[in-house]
Structure 1
């Protein structure tokens, strides 16, 4: 029994300091944000935290006014989308190296819910916020509302808001994905995307349109549907039905995100079960990978990227504001991450 008691003993700040070869005060400052602590000392402390499995006593810390919470807020638009689950894992992977934790919230892509969630996270005294913007009014994200809490935007930019942003190569990825369809001989290409006001929706449509224009292929408005916004992909399925019921249906469809892809493929699957031939169904290019893409009954090309890496990069940008010393005052940065275009294995 005495051995079990010893095994359950939690490491202390003093033990972390001893392992790192620094003072307990340096450990506390590092875990509180790193102010006035050299990068070398911070790395030693974080390594000791990982090795010892140290966790701060939040109950005790909450009794000390002015102490940092050790929490990072992460607000996403669709908790049901595996893409954002991987994104959040990437954020957490980097954040936990500093002894912090994340609080994850879902806005559902609604600006009112985003505003309330940001207020709730501020109330929990998060040290910083990583946000996938919902779109709409942004007064709640302005510096005068957030105070000194740093904000990093992911996937989408808000013009007029000077904060760090990590984006994807939306334009280039959509351009290359559409070119792949054109190279395969398709000229009637449908488009399923988000509402035109969405940041990523606009950028991806720009790449799609550019590819068609360069090849001299006229853009057919009847093959363009940019109204999908629901998380369940139902509207994408309805849009695909309208496209395929057209007198001259598209031979290929570009889907601007994975929820649109799933909705389109559900409609294709429904038609195949009703007796349609796979050869008569459109080829798909999907911006974003999705579950079981390699098992789809029609050819699927993926404009792919690492959602977890996107989360890691967003977390690094935020931590550089919190722990970066002089770098915390750098001008806002925009990081654009690359994408890959490749055919899913078709079985």
Structure 2
């Protein structure tokens, strides 16, 4: 190549930000990468750690390795992560979606790469999905609080516009409606994505002139944030009695909470394992219509 032409190529590479795909270079024509891409929303949440373990166990049985990425509930980061996975020549994807938009997960966008949605669905995406029975679990847990005699029951959760949070809020709402309890907007706090936000929401609820006597927390982050505030107030005497608590997701040491507790229990590891098996069935040649699996949950008081 002439020196001037070589320099023009190098200048174009620098301008476009091109990076050589080492993974693709190491794969001979006809070979597979042996990689599965897994996108989760919060790598700091133990729930997703167990989910990833379930995926990894099944992948290891098949001689595959897992590439794990964190989206932080950010749709743009999810798009970039999926693009990066595709660039690494993954054989398939397992995605916990970050939001309601999923054009980047369409078959045509992925070049036919199989994808399984886990924990949440995305409208308009024809893909296999494995979910929890969020509505029924939340309904039964709230029903248990009502049976204990509570009427001022607060809701702590993520944005209800999100798939999972919306389903759990629906179960909460159904239980109140069945008991003839009117919803109090002051007792509903949604949008908490982390412990700090959950603590702030629980603080606001306890500062109400008529605070709730019970709380339904729609995930483990909200449960832990609520428990931290309750414990501090019990310790400094600002709270004479802890509100009853229902938690969707298991939380370590919740049995030591000095108040009635209800837990919606399920196995995140099993969820990951089922998602992985569904993906490998696609890789093994299954070409039927999209499948939907809804795992049951157990409500324990």
Q: Same fold (TM over 0.5)?
A: yes
Note the residue ranges of structure 2 that are not aligned, 5 or more in a row. Answer: 1-21
- How far apart are the structure 2 equivalents of 1:142 and 1:131? 12
Aligned to 1:315: 276
Of 222, 246, 249, the match for 1:285:
246
Deviations 1:237-277 (A, max 9, x none): 11111111111111000000000001111111111121235
1:338 correspondence with 2:299: no
1:248 correspondence with 2:206: no
- Please say if residues 192 and 253 of structure 1, whose CA atoms lie closer than 8 Å, have aligned partners that are also in contact: yes
Deviations 1:265-307 (A, max 9, x none): 11111111212355x2211100001222223233321101000
- Please say if residues 61 and 67 of structure 1, whose CA atoms lie closer than 8 Å, have aligned partners that are also in contact: no
Aligned to 1:66: 30
Deviations 1:140-188 (A, max 9, x none): 1111110121000000010110100000000000000000001111111
- Please say if residues 109 and 134 of structure 1, whose CA atoms lie closer than 8 Å, have aligned partners that are also in contact: yes
1:269 correspondence with 2:231: yes
- Please say if residues 191 and 254 of structure 1, whose CA atoms lie closer than 8 Å, have aligned partners that are also in contact: yes
TM-score, normalised by the number of residues in structure 1: 0.78
| Structure 1 residue 111, shift from structure 2 partner | 0.5
TM-score, normalised by the number of residues in structure 2: 0.90
1:116 correspondence with 2:77: no
Aligned to 2:126: 162
1:89-128 map, 5 Å: 89-128=53-92
- Please say if residues 33 and 91 of structure 2, whose CA atoms lie closer than 8 Å, have aligned partners that are also in contact: yes
Count matched residues: 280
1:152 correspondence with 2:129: no
| Structure 1 residue 115, shift from structure 2 partner | 0.8
CA RMSD of aligned residues (A): 1.7
Task: Rate the CA distance shift 1:226–1:63 in 2: closer, same or farther, 3 A.
Answer: closer
- How far apart are the structure 1 equivalents of 2:166 and 2:198? 17
1:259 correspondence with 2:259: no
Task: Rate the CA distance shift 1:60–1:122 in 2: closer, same or farther, 3 A.
Answer: closer
Note the residue ranges of structure 1 that are not aligned, 5 or more in a row. Answer: 1-57
| Structure 1 residue 59, shift from structure 2 partner | 8.7
- How far apart are the structure 2 equivalents of 1:321 and 1:203? 28
Task: Rate the CA distance shift 1:274–1:68 in 2: closer, same or farther, 3 A.
Answer: same
Task: Rate the CA distance shift 1:132–1:59 in 2: closer, same or farther, 3 A.
Answer: closer
- Please say if residues 164 and 317 of structure 1, whose CA atoms lie closer than 8 Å, have aligned partners that are also in contact: yes
- How far apart are the structure 2 equivalents of 1:167 and 1:139? 20
Of 265, 268, 272, the match for 1:304:
265
Task: Rate the CA distance shift 1:272–1:255 in 2: closer, same or farther, 3 A.
Answer: same
- Please say if residues 73 and 129 of structure 1, whose CA atoms lie closer than 8 Å, have aligned partners that are also in contact: yes
306-315 vs 59-68, which deviates more?
59-68
- How far apart are the structure 2 equivalents of 1:67 and 1:246? 63
Aligned to 2:178: 214
| Structure 1 residue 61, shift from structure 2 partner | 9.5
140-149 vs 216-225, which deviates more?
140-149
Q: Which secondary structure state, in structure 2, belongs to the residue aligned with residue 137 of structure 1? A: coil
| Structure 1 residue 101, shift from structure 2 partner | 0.9
